[in-house]
Amino acid sequence: MLVADDEDDIRALVGVAVRRAGCVLAASVADGESALASARAELPDLAVLDVSMPGRTGLEVCAALREDPATAGIRVLLLSAGASPDDVARGLAAGADAYLPKPFAVADLVGGIRALSTGQPA
Amino acid sequence: MTAAVLSAAPGRGRRVPQPRVPTLEGLLPTAGSMAVAAVLLAAGALPVLDLELTLAGLLSAVAAGVLARAVPSSSRAARIVAPLAAVAGTALVHAGTGALVTLFLLMPPVVALASGAARAGVLAGVLGSVVATLAPAALSGTPVPGATVLLVPAVAGLTGLVVADLGARARSRAEELDVASRMLSARAQTMTSVIDAVTEQSIIGTDPDGTVRVWNPGAEKMLGVPRAAVVRARSIVDFHVPEELDAAAAEFGTADRLAALVHVAQQNGSDVRDWTYVAADGQQRTVAVAITPRTDDDGAHAGWNFVGTDMTEARATERMKDQFVSLISHELRTPLSSILGYLELVLDDEEGTLSDEQRQFLGTVERNAHRLQRLVGDLLFTAQVEAGRFTLQPGDVDLIGIVRAAEETARVTAAAGGVTLVLDVPEDELVVPGDAVRLGQACDNLVSNAVKFTPSGGTVTLSLRAGWRLPDGTVSDGEVLGAEPVARLAVRDTGVGIPAGEQAELFTRFFRASTARRNAVPGVGLGLTITKAITTAHGGTLDVVSAEGQGTTFTLTLPR
Size of interface A-B (CB pairs under 8 A): 54
Do the beta carbons of residue B268 and residue B252 sit within 8 Å?
no
Beta-carbon neighbour count of residue B138 at 10 Å? 12
Q: Which of the two residues, A122 and B241, has the higher pLDDT score?
A: B241
pLDDT digits (tens, 9 = 90+) for B91-144: 999 999 988 889 988 888 888 888 877 788 889 989 999 999 998 888 888 888
3-state helix, strand, coil in chain B (%, to 5): 55, 15, 30
Report the largest interatomic distance among the alpha carbons of chain A, rounded to a whole angstrom: 33
Q: Does B334 touch chain A (CB under 8 A)?
A: yes
Q: How many angstroms away from the CA of A70 is the closest CA of chain B? A: 32
Chain B residue with Cα closest to A108: B341
B504 confidence band (pLDDT: 50, 70, 90)? confident
Say whether B373 sits in a helix, a strand or coil: helix
Please identify, in words, the CATH class of the domain defined by A2-117.
alpha beta
pLDDT, residue B27, reads 66
Whole-angstrom CA distances from B151 to A121, B115, B147, B508, B542 are 122, 21, 6, 89, 86
- Nearest CA to B29 out of B94, B123, B116, B158 is that of B116
Task: State whether residue B520 sits within 8 Å of chain A by CB.
Answer: no
* Amino acid in position B204: I
Cα distance between residue B324 and residue B319, in whole Å: 8
DSSP B212-235: EEEE-HHHHHHH---GGGTTTT-B
Task: Indicate yes or no: pTM above 0.95.
Answer: no
Q: Roughly how many angstroms between the first and final C-alpha of chain B, as a whole number?
A: 57
A7 with B338: Cβ contact below 8 A: yes
DSSP codes, B475-491:
EESS--TTSEEEEEEEE
Does residue B4 have a pLDDT over 50? no
Partnered with residue B353 across adjacent β-strands are none
d(CA B400, CA B489): 10
Query: Peptide bond preceding B455: is omega within 30 degrees of 0, i.e. cis?
Result: no
Question: How far from B394 is each of B380, B439, B528, CA to CA, in Å?
Answer: 20, 11, 22
- What is the dihedral angle through the alpha carbons of A81, A87, A91, A94, rounded to the nearest 10 degrees? -130
What is B381-444 written as a DSSP string? HHHHHHTT------EEEEHHHHHHHHHHHHHHHHHHTT-EEEEE--SS--EEEE-HHHHHHHHH
Task: Select from B328, B332, B334 the residue whose CB has the most chain A CBs within 10 Å, as the one to mutate to test that interface.
Answer: B334
- The predicted-structure confidence for B183-238, as pLDDT tens digits, reads as follows 999 998 998 888 889 999 999 999 999 999 999 999 999 999 999 999 999 999 99
Q: Is the ipTM of this complex over 0.95?
A: no
CB contact under 8 A, A104 and B337: yes
B344/A86 touch (CB, cutoff 8 Å), yes or no:
no
Residue A88, chain B, CB below 8 Å: the answer is no
